[in-house]
Amino acid sequence: MRIYPNCLKTTLFASILLAFSCTDESTTSPTPPVTDAPVAIYVPAFNADSAFGYVQAQVNFGPRVPNTKAHETCKNYLISSLKSYNCSVTAQTYTVTAYDTKKLKGTNVIAAINPTVKENRILLSAHWDTRPVADQDNQKQTEPIDGANDAGSGVAVLMEIARVLQTDTTFKLGVDIILWDCEDYGQPANSGFPNMEDSYCLGSQYWAKNKPIDYQPKFGVNLDMVGAPGTVFYKDGVSLQYAFGVVEKVWKAAANAGFGNVFVNNTTGATMTDDHLYVNTIAKIPCIDIIHHDASTPSNFPISWHTHNDNINAIDKNSLKAVGQTLLQMLYEEQEIIKKNAN
């Protein structure tokens, strides 16, 4: 992913106003849809130990760079694990051209929960490939990184959510989990190659251009770098511009789950070029990004970003818990809202 600080400061206010003024709900309806879930609802517990184990399993394969054996082995692990949870799993394979002219063989792993439910599906996503170079490190810059946080953490949270949901017979909502490939093969500075626009997020771009015509989930939530110690999540510019209501929904769920101190009511003042950008702009699905933004670092990302310090020691179970429990809270609240509106 790439960050452009302060690019949207002048447009965010207008987009927020637009979000309030342009909705698909008629203001003249005599029975407006329910917008708030009940105060007390059942939400299963997110197991942070289990999620940490999924991070460790991915890291154990080594750097998951496209066109490598570790990448292929990890792909098979993700598919078999999701199938073991009785998800309906599809592997979307493709070949994309990277900034350095290499042909990358990619696979977006797609897992459907309650696949027969056609309406009001929710999309959850994260990328599973890792950075091929440590371009933000002072040493071994040309070598690939473990990507425990930047890849492993988001995938681990979604795998644990899949496991939890598939063991709960009371959960009837349709959920699609997409694990993007070829996200982190973006062009580094001073690469020596001509500048390539949109060099990151190649897998989500491919999916957005080739998704089934009739697939239109209610909204999406993308995860990226969600496992570092002391992580705090802000509302990013793209999310606010394209999916303001989804941001508010997820941040409210975080507060209800007891993690309002992690999902803070503040904005980054920045535009994140991440997978959610293309889900919004190409696929036209309102999608937000839950991503670690750290204004105290030169990159505005975690200190381990694109370095060899992005290893298993960069993962905190408390951060995994905060994100995973928030998403479960959001999903079960959404299920209650849909039930209410159906009555």
Task: Report pLDDT for 6.
Answer: 36
Does residue 16 fall inside a structural domain?
no
Q: What is the CATH number of the domain that holds 175?
A: 3.40.630.10
Does residue 20 fall inside a structural domain?
no
Does residue 17 fall inside a structural domain?
no
Task: Report pLDDT for 31.
Answer: 43
Task: Report pLDDT for 1.
Answer: 59
Structure tokens at 175: 């959920």
Does residue 169 fall inside a structural domain?
yes
Structure tokens at 92: 């979307």
Task: Report pLDDT for 5.
Answer: 41
For the chain of 343 residues, list the mean pLDDT of each consecutive stretch of 10. Answer: 42 37 39 53 98 99 99 99 98 99 99 97 99 96 98 99 97 98 96 96 99 97 97 95 98 98 85 93 98 84 93 98 99 96 86
Task: Report pLDDT for 12.
Answer: 36
Domain count, the chain: 1
pTM: 0.89
Q: CA 161 → CA 54, 118, 121, 164, 183, distances in Å? A: 12, 20, 15, 5, 22
Residue range of the domain that includes 192: 2-11+45-342
Does residue 110 fall inside a structural domain?
yes
Does residue 24 fall inside a structural domain?
no
Task: Report pLDDT for 36.
Answer: 54
Q: Could you report the per-residue pLDDT of 140-182, keeping only the tens digit for each?
A: 999 999 999 999 999 999 999 999 999 999 999 999 999 999 9
Measured at the alpha carbon of residue 61, what is the angle toward residues 150 and 63, in degrees to the nearest 5?
45
Q: Could you report the per-residue pLDDT of 214-250, keeping only the tens digit for each?
A: 999 999 999 999 999 999 999 999 999 999 999 999 9
Does residue 30 fall inside a structural domain?
no
Residue 21 to residue 5: CA distance in whole angstroms: 27
Does residue 206 fall inside a structural domain?
yes
